[in-house]
Structure 1
Amino acid sequence: MKVKQQDIEIPFGLALLPLVVMISVMALTIIVFEGSPHVPLAIGAIVAGFIAWRMGYKWETIEEGAYKGIRLALPAIIIIIVVGMIIASWIGGGIIATMIYYGLQIITPSLFLMTICIICGIVALAIGSSWSTMGTIGVAGMGIGISMGIPAAMVAGAVISGSYFGDKMSPLSDTTNLAAGITSTNLFEHIKHMLYTTVPGLIIALVVYFFLGRQFAGAAIDQENIQGILSSLESNFLISPWLLLVPAIIIVLVAFKVPALPALLIGVFLGFMCQIVVQGGDVGTAVNTLHDGFAIASGNEMVDDLFNRGGIASMMFTVSLTIFAMVLGGILEHTGMLRAIVNQILKVAKSAGSLIAATIVSAFFTNATASEQYISILIPGRMYARAYQDKGLHSKNLSRALEDGGTLTSPFVPWNTCGVFILATLAVHPFAYAPYAVLNYTVPVIGIIMGLIGYKVQFLTKDEVAELKVKEQRMNNENELTESV
């Protein structure tokens, strides 16, 4: 009897092989040859496709898995491109220059890391997007921090911590809604349950930033250098507090539940108009800025390094890397390889605490292998749902673990879409900012500890168990009816 493709099970060892090959080649390429991660991801996809083909999968099925992976990343790719445009238009329109200009004058250097973390957290909470926050407020914050003599890696870590806190806790966030939706958890129950791990993580991060910032007080700041930057900004841009209305408008739009993409496009348009009307540029230059990025020769090296950036072209590395990553992730998921790996983990996750720990670790593992935070929520979310139900655990334990391990750890993987986006946007490598993205690694640890000691682990009530059984029976009846038809 011929075995159907959906019945083919790839052994754990073979399922792991593409990842071992990819990670090995990735380490060699990046560390030894100082190359890009594109080719290692392609090699991993080729190995995965070959194994699936040898196990009985048709080429059409493997190809469809790759295409599904790419389709899953299309929303992220569009956001990446729009963020490139918004960075360029806000630089060309003088918006970033204005934010840096006033920020250099009003923010205390010793408290800057704390301040930028809190500001990014508030903005991301309002708009529901860590990427949009990092691409706007984060870029300005990098300029301010570097101008004060604070290392770029520290500033990036504080920006990332704040942005991901707000994103994770926002009801407007796509990952927050995805984690709640995939686990059938009420959105606001999910957010409330995340407070127990995320707020302590934020407090720890702010304390760390407070002590890190003390070294930059007083004499540590080069006032002459800052004055040089302020003079350069005044010479090359029209600085006006009215320009701050542009980011304020974007925040208000998304706060009123305007989707992030249209809101960002409005931001691009406003920046484009500011470059023409406020800064006195011509239409042709403004159009070219959107594609090629902003170009400036101010005579100040730091200003030139900060402002010669942005545009669609600057994001093509990120876009191509996202496509390669999603081809690999799509093949691994579509052929059941990720499922085979996660199933092995379930064999050792016996208690409720170990299951929560396994979920967090699996989400991080998926981030590192499938290279996309959405997949790190989707795959473990689907794989572990039954196990949580069997152990009598409420689904909000699963949704919280998915976010603790999936959403927050994605920036640490250089070839993950989040890692490459941050590298393209903040110009800091993930390995450099990782020690300073305090919230992003403390929250998963707190989640694992809470799970193992049983603190704030919510079990199902008898009524909830009965309700789940009714839903399951109804679903089974509907499936039988569909099959009979």
Structure 2
Amino acid sequence: MLLIAFAVANILTILFLLKKGYKLKNLLIMMIDGVIECKSIFYIILLMGATISIWLSSGIVPTIIYYGFDYLKDVNLLLAAFLGTAIISFVMGTACGTLSTIGIALLGMGAGLKIPAHILLGAIVSGSFIADKIAPISSLTNLTIQITGTKFWYYLKASLFTLIPTIMVSSFVYAFIGAKYSTSVDVEIIAKYRESISQGFVITPYFLLFPLLVIILAFIGLNIVYNMSAGVVIASFITIIIQKNGFVQVIKTILWGYNAQTGLDSLDALISGGGAMPLLEVVFIVMGSVTLSSLLEGAHLLKSLTETIY
């Protein structure tokens, strides 16, 4: 629906500007220039889908989950859910991807501990979206950097002034609320997940260095498209060489997403997803917003609107 809305808005804007005397050729040039200027955002969105799927199939995300579960014993699950989803979201660069992976597992654990779903979901959503705003491979972060023309490091420093107090206050609140519930997670559920992951993937703590490397490269200023592309290529080699997946299967995974087959349905739902093709609609939606903005800016309609307001 959002894609249709932007398409209709673009068409109506073009018709309005044609009536005002603008030439169709000039309007098309405005739209194309806008798309070219923001082309890196489109690459990032597609690479984000590819990154999620190939990090799943290579065992990188399963490794994070495998060792992450080990630290959920005898902890405040509500606080752990908030901080854990924040870390995963920061690494993966997507709040929605975090919610659909580790978020599902945490909700299942919360049900076993009799933690109200709406409270636990609040912690999961909060952690996912707080970290998504500063993740180095997040499309939102890179769109902001692209528009403002700033470096990631400066953007991060500016964002932390508000994010650090938010994270501290949220952590205190979730720690306080979580203390009311059981402090030990269902060890049997964790054991099943860990066993299935270890049987389905080659798990090694060295895989934990891979997302750390991506973050470090983003901090030192490497172009995010090159950073993510390198991540996809290296993870593809890991999938082929270490996880023993075929080349054709890796290409399908990158394009259409990863479908886990561990034999445990709840775990399969946890470590499946991603893919570049499912995000094409998102690319077209962003492209529609960019072309509409380019038309409004090129025709000085936004300027006249702001002058009227102020």
> TM tier, shorter chain?
0.7 to 0.9
Q: Look up the match of 1:111.
A: 79
Match of 2:230 among 229, 247, 266: 266
Query: How far apart are residue 160 of structure 1 and its match?
Result: 1.6
Cα-to-partner distance string for 1:194-223 (whole Å, 9 max, x where unaligned): 66544433433333443454466437x544
Aligned counterparts of 1:121 and 1:294: Cα–Cα separation in 2: 18
Deviation at 1:123, TM superposition (A): 5.9
Which is bigger in relative contact order (C-alpha 8 A, separation at least 6)?
2
Equivalence map 1:282-293=2 (5 Å): 282-293=246-257
Match of residue 103 from structure 2: 142
CA distance 1:122–1:99, change in 2 (3 Å) = closer
Partner AA of 1:148 in structure 2: M
Change (3 A) 1:191 1:100: closer
In structure 2, C-alpha distance between the alignment counterparts of 1:187 and 1:234, rounded to whole Å = 36
Tell me the residue number matched to 1:335.
Answer: 299
Aligned to 1:41: 6
Aligned 1:21-420 pairs, distance under 5 A = 36-107=1-72, 108-116=76-84, 119=87, 132=93, 141-142=102-103, 145-149=106-110, 154-165=123-134, 175=144, 179=148, 197-211=162-176, 213-214=178-179, 217-218=182-183, 221-346=185-310
* Structure (1 or 2) with the larger CA radius of gyration: 1
Identity of aligned residues (%): 21
CA 1:316 to 1:188, structure 2 compared with 1: closer, same or farther past 3 Å?
A: closer
Paired with 2:242 and 2:153, the residues of 1 have a C-alpha distance of: 42
* Corresponding residue SS for 2:38: helix
How far did residue 56 of structure 1 move? 2.3
Structure 2: 5+ residue stretches without partners:
111-118
Deviation at 1:106, TM superposition (A): 0.6
For residues 220 and 152 of structure 2, the distance between their equivalents in structure 1, rounded to whole angstroms, comes to 18
User: What TM-score results when the alignment is normalised by the length of structure 1?
Assistant: 0.53
SS at match of 1:284: helix
The 1:337–1:92 alpha-carbon spacing in structure 2 relative to 1, beyond 3 Å, is same
Q: Are residues 274 and 192 of structure 1, via their aligned partners in 2, closer, same or farther at CA, if it must alter by over 3 Å?
A: closer
Whole-angstrom distance in 1 between the partners of 2:192 and 2:173: 30
Q: What is the alpha-carbon root mean square deviation over aligned residues?
A: 3.5
8 Å CA contact 1:147–1:229 kept in 2: the answer is no
Aligned to 1:359: none
* Ranges in structure 1 where 5+ consecutive residues have no aligned partner: 1-35, 125-131, 347-485
User: Equivalent residue of 1:148, what SS?
Assistant: helix
1: CA distance, partners of 2:268 / 2:91: 27
142 and 208 in structure 1: CA distance in 2 versus 1, 3 angstrom threshold: same
* Alignment correspondent of 1:392: none
Report the count of equivalent residues. Answer: 295
User: For the residues of structure 2 that align with 1:57 and 1:304, how far apart are their CA atoms?
Assistant: 54
Question: Per the alignment, do residues 100 and 199 of structure 1 end up closer, same or farther by CA in structure 2, a change over 3 Å counting?
Answer: closer
TM-score by length of 2: 0.79
Q: Distance in 2 between matches of 1:336 and 1:253?
A: 39
User: What does the per-residue CA deviation read over 1:129-153, in whole Å, with 9 as the maximum and x for residues that have no partner?
Assistant: xxx3658878764365345338556
| In structure 2, distance between residues paired with 1:266 and 1:189 | 24
Distance 1:188 1:102 in 2: 29
Q: Equivalences for 1:1-16 in 2 at 5 Å?
A: none
Alpha-carbon deviation of 1:93? Answer: 0.7
